[in-house]
């Protein structure tokens, strides 16, 4: 059996199996044996490529952070270099919402990790989905819109962005909990953007 093996590739497969379990049966159902079974390999293989369970779990959150970040970045890049500030916000916030099965699964796993990290700061969220970087970028976008008079003049760019991100976060929760559809959530985001982006008033 022992061909020469691409370790990174193998780890990716195992991590994907882990995330599949986490998003369907929860982080609690993730054991080394379950990951092995989901990936169709023996327990020993999981042990071999991730010595610890801690290492395995860490790989899961890292992959997840990468995926979510990639989703936002790709959509942002897809809309060209210079688009209206409003379109930027709509696309970026829309990229956070769980619009298809894949992003829904990732958001479920993400939520599980986040909740676990709240009470077990050990394996807490590291990459953290770079909310600060995102927040700063969008704040710049809104600030520019204010200068150009496309937004109510007395709007505070930072707080507007913070509240938009928190709103989106809250909507993600309710969509995952099936108290709301994605379409409803998107409508709420658009409503907020409509009220923010108009030269006249607040």
Partner DNA sequence: GATCCTGTGGTACGACTGTATCCTAACGTC
Partner DNA sequence: GACGTTAGGATACAGTCGTACCACAGGATC
Q: Which positions lie near DNA, rule CB under 7 A?
A: 1-5, 7, 10, 30-34, 41-45, 47-49, 51-54
Using the rule CB under 8 A, give the single segment among 38-46, 47-55, 107-115, 139-147 that binds its own copies. Answer: 107-115
Round to whole Å and give the CA distance between 137 and 141: 6
Round to whole Å and give the CA distance between 90 and 167: 13
Q: Are 93 and 72 in contact (CB under 8 A)?
A: no
Residue 170 touches which member of its own copies, DNA, none, C-beta under 5-8 Å by kind: its own copies
Round to whole Å and give the CA distance between 157 and 140: 8
Q: Is 83 in the site for its own copies (CB under 8 A)?
A: no
Residue 99 touches which member of DNA, its own copies, none, C-beta under 5-8 Å by kind: none
Q: Is 22 in the site for its own copies (CB under 8 A)?
A: yes
Interaction pattern, residues 172-201, with its own copies; x per rule: CB under 8 A: -xx-xx-x-------xx--xx--x--x-xx
Residue 186 touches which member of its own copies, DNA, none, C-beta under 5-8 Å by kind: none
Q: Are 186 and 97 in contact (CB under 8 A)?
A: yes
CB 127 to DNA: min, Å: 22
Q: Which is nearer to DNA, 54 or 70 (CB)?
A: 54
Q: Where are the alpha helices (DSSP H) in 1-127?
A: 7-25, 32-39, 43-49, 53-78, 85-96, 101-119
Q: Is 94 in the site for its own copies (CB under 8 A)?
A: no
Distances (CA, A) of 13 to 18, 23, 50, 61, 102: 9, 15, 12, 14, 16
- 131, 136, 147, 153: which one contacts its own copies (CB under 8 A)? 131
Burial 120-137 (b: 16+ CB within 10 A, else e): eeeeebeeebeeeebeee
Dihedral sign from CA coordinates of 116, 131, 61, 91: positive
Q: Is 122 in the site for its own copies (CB under 8 A)?
A: no
Q: Which residues of the chain form contacts with its own copies (CB under 8 A)?
A: 22-29, 108, 111-112, 114-120, 125, 131, 152, 155-156, 159, 162-163, 165-171, 173-174, 176-177, 179, 187-188, 191-192, 195, 198, 200-202
């Amino acid at each position: 059996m022992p061909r020469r093996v691409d370790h990174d590739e193998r780890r990716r497969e195992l991590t994907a199996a882990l995330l599949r379990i986490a998003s369907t049966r929860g982080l609690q159902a993730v054991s080394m044996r379950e990951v092995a079974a989901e990936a169709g390999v023996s327990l020993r293989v999981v042990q071999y490529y991730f010595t610890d369970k801690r290492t395995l779990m860490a790989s899961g959150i890292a992959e997840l952070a990468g995926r979510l970040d990639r989703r936002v970045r790709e959509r942002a890049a897809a809309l060209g270099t210079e688009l209206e500030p409003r379109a930027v916000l709509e696309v970026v916030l829309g990229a956070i919402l769980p619009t298809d099965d894949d992003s829904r699964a990732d958001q479920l796993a993400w939520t599980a990790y986040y909740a676990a990290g709240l009470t077990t700061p050990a394996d807490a969220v590291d990459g953290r989905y770079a909310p600060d970087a995102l927040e700063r970028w969008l704040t710049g976008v809104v600030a520019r819109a204010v200068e150009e008079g496309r937004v109510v003049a007395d709007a505070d760019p930072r707080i507007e962005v913070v509240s938009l991100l928190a709103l989106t976060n809250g909507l993600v929760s309710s969509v995952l909990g099936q108290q709301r559809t994605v379409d409803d959530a998107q409508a709420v985001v658009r409503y907020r953007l409509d009220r923010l982006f108009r030269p006249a008033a607040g």
